[in-house]
């Protein structure tokens, strides 16, 4: 039996995603005056949700088969090319970036809260309810 269950590893994936997204947002804000810079976005949420909803399992009968396991490293950063740009080719929307920044911070804090309460639950169990 697994003491920590799947919750903590899922929360960890969420935290890793939030960190990466924070890096992308920071990069976007830093390049608000860079000509021809295109907004960078992180597409982990989709992958994360998929992994959560359906845990796919497959048997590899040949070494050349693709591995079905989803790694944390699969989070993708992509540039949003077809976006309305300013005259200098820069596509950073500062209002949207600030909103995303606030949202991401709250999301991250929420994950930490969950993680902490999970640990405190385990702590209660370990101490036998005392």
Partner 1 sequence: MSIFHSMNTTASALTAQRLRMDVISSNIANVDTTRAKQVNGEWEPYRKKSITLKENEGQFSSFLNMAMGKTVKAGVGNGVKVTSIKEDTETPFKLVFDPTHPDANEDGYVQMSNVDLLKEMVDLISASRSYEANITAFNANKSMLTKALEIGKG
Among 94, 96, 125, 126, binds partner 1 (CB under 8 A): 94
**Nearest in space to 76 (alpha carbons), one of 41, 103, 102, 109:** 41
- Measured at the CA of 10, the angle between CA 7 and CA 14, to 5 degrees, comes to 135
**Binding-site string for partner 1 from residue 38 to residue 77, where x marks contact by CB under 8 A and - marks none:** --x------------------------------x-x-xxx
Work out whether 93 is an interface residue with partner 1 (CB under 8 A): no
Catalogue the E-assigned strands of 15-81: 40-43, 76-79
90 vs 124: CA distance, rounded Å: 53
Residues engaged in binding partner 1 (CB under 8 A): 15, 18-20, 22-27, 29-35, 37, 40, 71, 73, 75-78, 94, 97-98, 101-102, 104-105, 108-109, 112, 115-117, 119-120
């Amino acid at each position: 039996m697994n003491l920590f269950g799947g919750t903590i590893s899922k929360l960890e994936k969420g935290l890793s995603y939030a960190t990466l997204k924070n890096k992308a947002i920071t990069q976007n804000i830093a390049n608000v005056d860079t000509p021809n810079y295109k907004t960078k976005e992180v597409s982990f949420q989709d992958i994360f949700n998929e992994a959560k909803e359906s845990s796919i399992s497959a048997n590899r009968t040949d070494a050349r088969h693709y591995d079905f396991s989803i790694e944390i490293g699969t989070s993708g950063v992509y540039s949003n090319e077809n976006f309305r740009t300013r005259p200098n080719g820069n596509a950073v929307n500062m209002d949207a970036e600030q909103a995303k920044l606030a949202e991401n911070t709250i999301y991250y804090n929420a994950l930490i809260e969950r993680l902490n309460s999970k640990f405190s639950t385990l702590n209660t169990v370990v101490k036998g309810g005392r």
